[in-house]
Structures are given as C-alpha cells and as structure tokens.
Amino acid sequence: MSETKVMLKGVRFSYAHVFEPTAAEEGGEKKYNVSVIIPKDDKANLKIVKAGIEAAKQEGLATKWNGKLPKKYEDPLKDGDEEKEDDPAYVGCMYLNAKSKRKPGIIDRNKQEIVNDDEFYSGCYGFITINFYPYDKGTGGVAAGLGNIMKTKDGERLGGGGVSASTDFAEVEVDDNDDL
C-alpha cells in the first residue's frame, strides 16, 4: 500500500451507506459512505490513520496548497467526545467518515461477498481500506476515500430499526379475515 492508503482492523462501522449511495444534502452528489469508529486507546489504528493523513497533507503541501496549509484546514480524524457527544457509540473514540463514488467491495471473514444490509450494518466490526487525499474546494484539507470492507464480527446495531420484519412478526398467524 502507498503511504496514503491504509488498512485498519477491528474498527466499528456506523452510518453505513455502502449498498446504495446517498447525498449529504438535497440535490447533492450521491456517494457511498461509512463512519469508522476507533477507540482512543487503539494506538495501532490511530498511528496508521495519522501517518496516512500526514502523507496526504505532505502531498497537498506539494501539489495543491502552494507549500502552506489552507487557512481553514479540515482534518478527517475527529474526536467523538467533542463532535458527537450525544451519541454513546462515539464516547471515548475518534472517528472519520470515508466516502467514495465507487461502491466498496464488502466481504465477510471467509472472504465471501456480502450483498445486503442484514449482514453488514451500522454497529458491526471489521477491516477497512482508506485512501487519504488532499483537496482544495473553498476550504482545504485531507479527505478519507472509502476503499473496501471486510466484516469480521457482529455488534449491537446502531441507529435503531435493527430488528427484521420477520422477527417482529414471527409469532403472527394470518388468516383470510386479516386481509381487510
């Protein structure tokens, strides 16, 4: 991998929009995206992220920002205790949002493709590849490009709505009179 492309392992995923792209705002460009949650005590993953960001920052200094950081430089690594203080999944964690126009490949620990959101969802854990890159659009900074994902274990679903319809209605018996 290059200095700007990194692989993180054992991270938690949230706000997972990896099967269908979404737009951040009405009429905006649709992208695949996921929030990557990293505990603050996970020194190994944070070291990898910071090195990737630094490599992209150096690339930006050399190619986009005329040798100096933009006045409103934006870093992709955020503090969950400050930015998402009302979300318990982010307490004691750092996070970044990875996005891409290209749909990520998503596999399970056996390297079998995952094709639906019953198997990969906000709250599960795994590996992810991210490519950090500099940008200069009004503000400037480093962004996190979404690569591919490997789900390694389940976790408590985040954001509610985590129960399937078949589970909700498992005990229901329907007869012809219920069709009204």
**Triad 56, 21, 36: Cα angle to 5°:** 45
Domain with residue 133: its CATH number is 2.40.50.140
Give the pLDDT confidence of 99-147 residue by residue, as tens digits. 999 999 999 999 999 998 899 999 999 999 999 999 998 789 999 999 9
- pLDDT of 5 > 80? The answer is yes
**Triad 160, 162, 166: Cα angle to 5°:** 140
Residues 62 and 82: their CA atoms lie apart, in Å, by: 31
List CB contacts of 25: < 8 A, sequence separation 6 or more: none
Give the model's pLDDT for residue 180.
47
Domain hosting 9: range is: 5-179
Total structural domains within the chain: 1
For the entire predicted model, the pTM comes to 0.86
Neighbours of 25 (CB within 10 A): 6
